[in-house]
């Protein structure tokens, strides 16, 4: 057997680290990370970081942790490198952890490797599975999947949200052990900038990912472009279906070059090689050619359908389950009308 994540003869000390939310609770990615830790044999310790950590410890009192170590204080409510790294480092040292599991949220993604370095360990990030014999992760932007393990300890594993069924356990009253950390930072988090609610088109929890490609802005059968109409159809469908909006690079690049083609689109919507790789149960692509640098971003979209005028587009070559060779303007207008009528 691999030296892997070891069995009974060499029990690991597994530390799961999590931040508390603004209301003091633990969010789903944290509960998933605790659930993932159960695939490894060892002693579980939970480390909690936040302005106040007792509510979170109580929420997971029955998770089987031998200890709850906490770093608490207003300075630890801010997602920023200096304070998050110092808190994680202190808890990991107090726990003498050999395996550290964190959810790969933007907050943990910012510090995961740095924390491992401070502990003279190693980190693996964007992990999609943890088992008794190692981890699963992808290389070259979701093009190839590796099963791997490593001998270095501590080993910090950042697991991507959505890869594990979240922990369900009894709440209770947990006894916590505070860990003292003194740290200051030259950085202050000043807030979150989000598009106005009407234009908030990225919805990570949506069942459906709706992707718009550059075809929406191209000349159509009548020889003219119909961009305002495209915008209206896309927003109409998003509002009716509550799906999340993705885009091809070509479309957001046009929007980004001062042409404000579709004002509700930005690079944050971009799916693919230099965009995101979201997780949704279903995906519907429209007016997009389905080239490889785009479709690598669909790796974790389970069921895929596409509407394109081109029967030979990338989607036709094993990338979509169904390709409708049709005019997306006509089809999506109809889809939205039917949804609205329901």
Partner 1 sequence: MSLTYQIVVCGSLVPDPLQTLEPVTTTAGPALKNETMLPAVLDPWAGHALFEAAYLAKNNPGSKVYFVSLAPKAKLQQVMMTVAQKAGFELIAIDGPASGFTEAADVANALADTIKTIPGLDMSKLLVFGGWESASRGAGATMQLVGEKLGITDQFQGVDQITVAADGSFEILERVEGGKHQASKCAGAPAVLGWATGNLPEPPNNPQIGMANMRTIMPALQKAKPAKIAAEGVTFASVALPKQQRQTKIVKDMSADDIAKEIIAWIQQ
Ligand X SMILES: Cc1cc2nc3c(=O)[nH]c(=O)nc-3n(C[C@H](O)[C@H](O)[C@H](O)COP(=O)(O)OP(=O)(O)OC[C@H]3O[C@@H](n4cnc5c(N)ncnc54)[C@H](O)[C@@H]3O)c2cc1C
Residues of the shown chain interacting with ligand X in the complex, contacts defined by CB under 6 A: 213-215, 218, 220, 248-251, 270-275, 287-289, 291, 293-294, 307-310, 313, 327-329
- In the block, tokens 């389970």 appear at 302
Q: Which of 28, 38, 55, 203 binds partner 1 (CB under 8 A)?
A: 203
28 binds partner 1 per the rule CB under 8 A: no
270 binds partner 1 per the rule CB under 8 A: yes
For the bound state, the minimum distance from the C-beta of residue 106 to partner 1, rounded and expressed in Å, comes to: 4
Q: Residue 219's binding partner, choosing from partner 1, ligand X, none, with beta-carbon cut-off 5 to 8 A by kind?
A: none
Site map (CB under 8 A) of partner 1, residues 79-98, x = contact? xxxx--x-------------
**Between residue 152 and residue 181, which ones bind partner 1 under the rule CB under 8 A?**
152
Peptide bond into 154 cis (omega under 30): yes
Type and span of the H or E element at 165: none
Provide the 3-class DSSP secondary structure of residue 179: coil
Closest CA to 138 of 281, 297, 288, 325: 297
188 binds partner 1 per the rule CB under 8 A: yes
Q: Total residues contacting partner 1 (rule CB under 8 A)?
A: 101
Q: Residue 214's binding partner, choosing from ligand X, partner 1, none, with beta-carbon cut-off 5 to 8 A by kind?
A: ligand X
Q: Which of 11, 177, 178, 187 binds partner 1 (CB under 8 A)?
A: 187
Q: Which of 39, 133, 176, 225 binds partner 1 (CB under 8 A)?
A: 133
For the bound state, the minimum distance from the C-beta of residue 315 to ligand X, rounded and expressed in Å, comes to: 9
Residue 326 carries which DSSP code? S
**Between residue 97 and residue 116, which ones bind partner 1 under the rule CB under 8 A?**
105-107, 109-114
Torsion of CA 176, 181, 184, 188, to 10 degrees: -20
**Between residue 41 and residue 80, which ones bind partner 1 under the rule CB under 8 A?**
79-80
Q: Residue 160's binding partner, choosing from ligand X, partner 1, none, with beta-carbon cut-off 5 to 8 A by kind?
A: none
Q: Is 103 or 246 the residue whose CB approaches ligand X more closely?
A: 246
The backbone torsions φ and ψ at residue 130, rounded to the nearest 5 degrees and listed phi first, read -125, 130
For the bound state, the minimum distance from the C-beta of residue 150 to partner 1, rounded and expressed in Å, comes to: 5
Q: Is 62 or 114 the residue whose CB approaches partner 1 more closely?
A: 114
CB atoms within 10 A of CB 5: 24
- In the block, tokens 């907050």 appear at 107
Distance CA(281)–CA(296), nearest Å, equals: 16
107-140 burial: b if 16+ Cβ within 10 Å, else e: bbeebbbbbbebbebbbbbbbbbbeebbbbbbee
Q: Is 236 exposed, middle or buried (0-12, 13-18, 19+ CB in 10 A)?
A: middle
Q: Is 189 or 322 the residue whose CB approaches ligand X more closely?
A: 322
């Amino acid at each position: 057997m691999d030296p892997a994540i070891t069995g009974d003869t060499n029990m690991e000390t597994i530390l799961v680290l999590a931040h508390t939310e603004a209301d003091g609770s633990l969010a789903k990615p944290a509960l998933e990370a605790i659930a993932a830790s159960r695939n490894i044999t060892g002693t579980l310790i939970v480390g909690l970081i936040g302005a106040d950590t007792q509510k979170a410890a109580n929420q997971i009192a029955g998770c089987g942790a031998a200890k709850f170590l906490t770093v608490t204080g207003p300075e630890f409510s801010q997602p920023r490198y200096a304070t998050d790294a110092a808190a994680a480092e202190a808890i990991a040292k107090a726990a003498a952890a050999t395996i550290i599991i964190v959810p790969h949220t933007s907050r943990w993604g910012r510090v995961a490797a740095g924390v491992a370095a401070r502990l003279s360990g190693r980190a693996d990030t964007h992990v999609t599975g943890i088992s008794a014999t190692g981890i699963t992760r992808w290389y070259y932007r979701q093009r190839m999947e590796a099963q791997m393990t490593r001998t270095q300890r501590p080993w910090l594993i950042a697991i991507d949200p959505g890869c594990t069924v979240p922990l369900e356990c009894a709440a209770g009253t947990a006894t916590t052990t505070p860990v003292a950390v003194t740290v200051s930072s030259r950085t202050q988090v000043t807030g979150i900038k989000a598009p106005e609610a009407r234009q908030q088109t990225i919805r990570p929890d949506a069942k459906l990912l709706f992707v718009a490609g550059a075809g929406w802005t191209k000349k159509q059968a009548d020889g003219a472009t119909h961009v305002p109409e495209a915008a209206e159809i896309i927003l109409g469908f998003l509002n009716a279906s509550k799906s999340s909006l993705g885009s091809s690079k070509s479309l957001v690049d046009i929007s980004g070059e001062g042409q404000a083609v579709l004002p509700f689109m930005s690079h944050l919507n971009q799916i693919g090689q230099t965009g995101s790789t979201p997780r949704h149960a279903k995906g519907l692509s429209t007016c997009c050619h389905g080239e490889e640098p785009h479709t690598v971003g669909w790796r974790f979209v389970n069921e895929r359908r596409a509407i394109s005028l081109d029967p030979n587009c990338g989607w036709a070559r094993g990338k979509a389950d169904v390709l409708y060779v049709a005019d997306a303007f006509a089809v999506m207008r109809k889809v939205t009308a039917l949804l609205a009528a329901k």
